[in-house]
Amino acid sequence: MLALETTDDWAFSVDIDIGGAETYTNAVTNAIDSIYALVVWANAPARGWFGLSTFSWTWQRDATTGGTIFVLSASGFAFTISAGAHDRLGIPADAAVNEVIGDQPASGTWAPISKISVKKYMRTLAAGDANAGGAVRPGVPGLGAYRPEVSAVGTAIDAGRLASILATASNPRRAVVYQLHTGDWITLAIGTVTRQAVDTTHYRYDIQAGAVTL
Amino acid sequence: MAYCYSEGPSTGSTAALPHNSTMAVIEQATPGTTTYGRPTTPKLFTAQLADIQAVWDAQTPAGLYSITWDSAANRVVVATTNATNHRPEMVGNGENWFGFTQALAGWNTSWTGASAPQAVARLLGVTVEPAEDWAQVDFAEYRHGRIASIGWGNHQAHQVIAYFSGENIATMQAGYVTAGRVRIHQDETDVLPYAAAHPGGYVDGWVVAAGDPTEEGDTGDLWSLRMVVAVPR
């Protein structure tokens, strides 16, 4: 899944209520960092429900749009949430629930049918005996000063979605991408996106990317 | 299907760039009166016909008109609904645009174009790839490998391959449907526009590149033409 920083209005506030409403005010401009910050806020000791309920989030592909549907969950007490996060994160208002599922894709998100491959992203590993391409390990040669390679496979819906969200990209163009094998969300500069048909149904996308973004 | 360019006014003999925006009519009972009709803004061919009909209904001495494009026959039909004898008159390149290439003489209550209008090309099939973002993007690299990616762009583009039979080569080469603003139906029965979540809809865009008709195989009757159609965003 890829979440693009967009020019949408990300200055939203959303109320969460477990025995008393508290308000989260968003200050980041992409969907991943936003849902992540919302959950960190909801689990902070300052919350009235700290220790009683623990929030978490997951995502799923929306096959209708090629975007990302967020799922916000809480273990413990049920919660009530206002509609403040609906426009950007797709999470609707709901009451007395332990899970709320988005009813529209989050802004700037792209979830093609395949996982997104991120290769040659430089990683810093612990000290060890050998190194790998794209990694830095103390005391071992092999600095991977490569440009990341980002690619994925998708359908026509995914093609339409990607062009659509790129039209809303903020300038400079930055996105957060999930790298499966490291389990990390990585912030990349997003350059030119190229596409080629690989069969009658699928397209392959290659995204020119640069890491350690400004 | 092509758009006609028009700046108005909706009637009268003088207008800017009237080459394919205008059709005129004379009624038998008032042969000294010529009524011109045109849209006041650029319009899709079928919407242009509706606009001309509305102007004629309001401006002609007696007639009430029906101006339609017969999709099955691929002909334009001009008729009155109140049995008023009349004769359409072509202006500029109207005879090719509307398909009234015959000599227009005498009076009648209904007229059918002798030729297919060059504003419409019937395709055997068309490949319209989903939109691509056609932004210009530059990478800028700063100290310590830090990177910013700056993008500029105001349109998306569709790669299009139109397949058509030999009888439509003249229409494709005439240029009305391969230049300027066009509407491409991937499925003629689909009335919804292209959208990211509906990539099978029709595409309204401007042709920014077009190749030449190319023969497919050697049967002599299957041709293709590649285009790039840009859509402002």
Q: Of the candidates B21, B32, B99, B28, which has an alpha carbon nearest to the alpha carbon of residue B55?
A: B21
Closest CA to A167 of A144, A140, A190: A190
Provide CB contacts within 8 A for B189, sequence distance 6+: none
- A160 vs B197: CB contact, 8 Å cut-off? yes
pLDDT band at A211 (very low <50, low <70, confident <90, very high): confident
What mean pLDDT is predicted for residues A99-111?
Answer: 97
What is the structure's pLDDT at A134? Answer: 64
Q: What is the pLDDT along chain B (233 residues), one digit of tens a residue?
A: 999 988 989 999 888 888 899 999 999 999 999 999 999 999 999 999 999 999 999 999 999 999 999 999 999 999 999 999 999 999 999 999 999 999 999 999 999 999 999 999 999 999 999 999 998 999 888 877 788 999 998 999 999 999 999 989 999 999 999 999 999 999 989 999 999 999 999 999 999 999 999 999 888 889 999 999 999 98
Which of A64, A159, A189 faces B139 most closely, judged by CB atoms?
A189
Residue A3, strand partner residues: A109, A176
Beta strand residue intervals within B83-165, DSSP E: 86-90, 110-112, 125-128, 132-133, 136-141, 147-152, 155-165
B139 and A210 within 8 Å at the Cβ level: the answer is: yes
Please return the burial class of B105, using the count of CB atoms within 10 Å of its CB with bins 0-12, 13-18 and 19+. Answer: exposed
Interface contact B130-A192, CB threshold 8 A: no
State the pLDDT at residue B147: 86
Which neighbouring-strand residues pair with A196? A204
List CB contacts of B113: < 8 A, sequence separation 6 or more: B75, B76, B77, B98, B99, B100, B101, B102
Average of per-residue pLDDT across A103-131: 86
Q: What is the ipTM of this complex?
A: 0.83
Inter-chain residue contact A159 with B233, CB threshold 8 Å:
no
Q: Is A119 on the interface with B (CB under 8 A)?
A: no
- Quick check: A143 contacting B, CB < 8 Å? no
CB contact A66 to B (< 8 Å) = yes
Which residues 6+ apart lie within 8 Å of A51 measured at CB?
none
- The reply to whether residue B149 touches residue A172, judged by beta carbons under 8 angstroms, is yes
Question: Are A166 and B135 a contacting pair at CB < 8 A?
Answer: yes
Answer whether B133 sits within 8 Å of A159, measured CB to CB. no
Best probe of the B interface among A166, A176, A195, A207, by most B CBs < 10 A, is A166
Q: What are phi and psi of B44, to 5 degrees?
A: -60, 150
Compute the distance between CA of residue B123 and CA of residue B126 in angstroms, rounded to an integer.
Answer: 7
pLDDT at res. A143: 57
Q: B119's torsion region: left (phi>0), alpha (psi -120 to 50) or beta?
A: alpha
- What is the pLDDT at residue B146? 83
> What does the CA dihedral A191, A192, A198, A202 come to, rounded to 10 degrees?
70
* B chain contacts of residue A192, beta-carbon cutoff 8 Å: 137
Check CB contact under 8 Å for A208 and B139.
yes
Tokens 């209008």 found at: B117
Reported pTM = 0.87
CA dihedral angle for residue B78, residue B84, residue B87, residue B93, rounded to 10 degrees: -40
The verdict on A161 touching B (C-beta cutoff 8 Å) is: yes
Question: Taking CB atoms and an 8 Å limit, are A164 and B141 in contact across chains?
Answer: no
pLDDT band at residue A148, thresholds of 50, 70 and 90? Answer: confident
Q: Do B197 and A210 touch (CB under 8 A)?
A: no
- Tell me, what's the pLDDT at B8? 86
**B133, B151, B198 member nearest A163 (Cβ):** B133
Q: Do A156 and B197 touch (CB under 8 A)?
A: no
A128 pLDDT more than 90? no
Q: Which residues of B touch A159 (CB under 8 A)?
A: 129-132, 199
B108 by Cβ neighbours in 10 Å (0-12 / 13-18 / 19+) ranks as middle
CB atoms within 10 A of CB A52: 13
Closest chain A C-alpha to B112 CA, distance in angstroms = 41
- Cα B32 to Cα A208, B25, B60, B86, B95, distances in angstroms: 68, 11, 12, 12, 22
Say how far apart CA A25 and CA A66 lie, in whole Å. 27
Whether the predicted pLDDT of A145 surpasses 60: no
pLDDT digits (tens, 9 = 90+) for A26-53: 999 999 999 999 999 999 999 999 999 9
User: Shortest Cα distance from B141 to chain A (angstroms)?
Assistant: 9
C-alpha gyration radius of chain B: 21
Q: Which residues in chain A touch residue B194, judged by CB atoms under 8 angstroms apart?
A: 160
Instruction: Provide the pairing of β-strand A123-124 with A135-136.
Output: parallel
Would the CB atoms of A193 and B129 count as touching at under 8 Å?
Answer: no
User: Which amino acid, residue B223?
Assistant: W
Residues of B in Cβ contact (< 8 Å) with A214: 142, 146-148
User: pLDDT-based confidence at A68, cuts 50/70/90?
Assistant: very high
pLDDT in tens, A81-98: 999 999 999 999 999 999
* Tokens 């749009």 sit on residue: A65
Q: What is the tens place of the pLDDT at every residue in A108-121? A: 999 999 999 988 77
How far away is chain B from the Cα of A209, in angstroms, using its nearest Cα?
Answer: 8
A201–chain B Cβ distance below 8 A for any pair: no
Chain B residues closer than 8 Å to A197 by CB: 129
Q: Which of B145, B150, B156 sits opposite A172 (nearest CB)?
A: B150
Q: How far is CA B201 from the centre of its chain?
A: 17
Confidence check: pLDDT of A132 > 70: no
Q: How far is B174 from chain A (nearest CA, A)?
A: 31
Interface list for A 18-57 with B (CB within 8 A): none
* Longest Cα separation, chain A: 56
